[in-house]
Amino acid sequence: MRAGDIAIGGDEFVVMAGPCAVESERQVLDTAVSVAKAGAQILRGGAYKPRSSPYSFQGLGVEGLKILSKARELTGLLVITEVMSETDVDVVADYADIMQVGARSMENFALLERLGTCGRPVLLKRGMTATLEDLLRSAQFIVAYGNPDVILCERGIRTFETATRNTFDVAAVPVLKTVSHLPVIVDPSHAAGVRSLVPVLARAAVVVGADGLLVEVHPQPEKAVSDGEQSLTLAQFDSMMVDLDPYLDLRKVAGMAFAAAGGND
Ligand code: PEP
Ligand code: MN
């Protein structure tokens, strides 16, 4: 599928990177310039944040969307940002190139229905306790209501393991690539919960046939208002991209072999 002039789910490996939340113009512009230089094609950043406490930062809303838009003008990166409510779909679609549905909203059916007619591709995150079938049913909702451009996102699930924030279900990628034609993106940041594990999970995502990554990056993670522990610094993101290169080259040569790894035989 296409978002702007970027093809997602084809030969190209697509990297979406940026802060968990839009905090300020400086923070977003610095991040955007840096991740673009490192090879990302799409800028992420939440202007509407689903927070587990009402006392946490809830996002800058429209002001945040405007900052993302400015970063797009400056860098040429496309913008992906979360939409939490069907009443915000129009305003988010005015500024975003791709609409993100968060893990907590995967079964917000009023939202999914409305995204059927939003005119933008939708990245649908797997719910924390959702099976792959649940995820695909939610994707079908968006498609059934008129929007075929759905991107699936594995971001880790809740298990009994506590060493990582969530458990990266690595098999989800080849399974989804086998049973569905939709692109599959991996978010290693929310799976890991700590920045030290993000590059290795990203590498695993390439090798199992993911179509791209969604990665949290912050110019000063220690000052981030959300998800600082799992955000890469700008320099760490650079290194991660350089380190991924040989795997991406291999993916080009053996792309079909990676993708076929999920075949049922
Ligand atoms: C996010 O991408 O910052 C986010 C809130 O992710 P998730 O919905 O996967 O928890
Ligand atoms: Mn986050």
Segment 232-256 mean pLDDT: 91
Residue from 28, 152, 47 nearest 92 by CA: 47
What confidence score (pLDDT) does residue 135 get? 99
Q: Is ligand 1 within 6 A of the CB of residue 114?
A: no
| Residue 38 covered by a domain | yes
Pairing between β-strand 122-125 and β-strand 150-154 as defined by DSSP bridges = parallel
Q: pTM of the prediction?
A: 0.96
| Residue 265 covered by a domain | no
| Residue 233 covered by a domain | yes
**Which residues hold their Cβ within 5 A of ligand 2, which is an ion?**
20, 227
- 3 state SS of 42: strand
Residue % of the chain over a pLDDT of 90 = 92
149, 142 in Cβ contact below 8 A? no
The one-letter code for the residue type at 47 is A
Q: What residue numbers bound the domain in which 132 lies? A: 2-260
pLDDT at 184 > cutoff 90: yes
Residues 98, 12: Cα–Cα separation, whole Å: 17
**What 8-state DSSP symbol labels residue 34?**
H
Domains held by the chain: number: 1
| Residue 192 covered by a domain | yes
Cα(234) to centroid of ligand 2, in Å?
16
Residue 42 Cα to chain centre, angstroms: 10
* Residue to mutate, 49, 99, 122, 125, ligand 1, most ligand atoms under 8 Å from C-beta: 125
Summarize pLDDT for 26-42 with one digit per residue, the tens: 999 999 999 999 999 99
| Residue 39 covered by a domain | yes
The one-letter code for the residue type at 144 is A
What CATH code is carried by the domain that includes residue 76?
3.20.20.70
pLDDT at 192 > cutoff 60: yes
| Residue 138 covered by a domain | yes
203, 29 in Cβ contact below 8 A? no
Residue from 160, 161, 208 nearest 186 by CA: 208
Summarize pLDDT for 71-121 with one digit per residue, the tens: 999 999 999 999 999 999 999 999 999 999 999 999 999 999 999 999 999
Residues 61, 48: Cα–Cα separation, whole Å: 5
Cα(190) to centroid of ligand 2, in Å?
6
Q: Sign of torsion, CA 232 42 21 227?
A: negative
| Residue 73 covered by a domain | yes
| Residue 56 covered by a domain | yes
pLDDT at 260 > cutoff 70: no
Nearest residue by C-alpha to atom 9 in ligand 1: 103
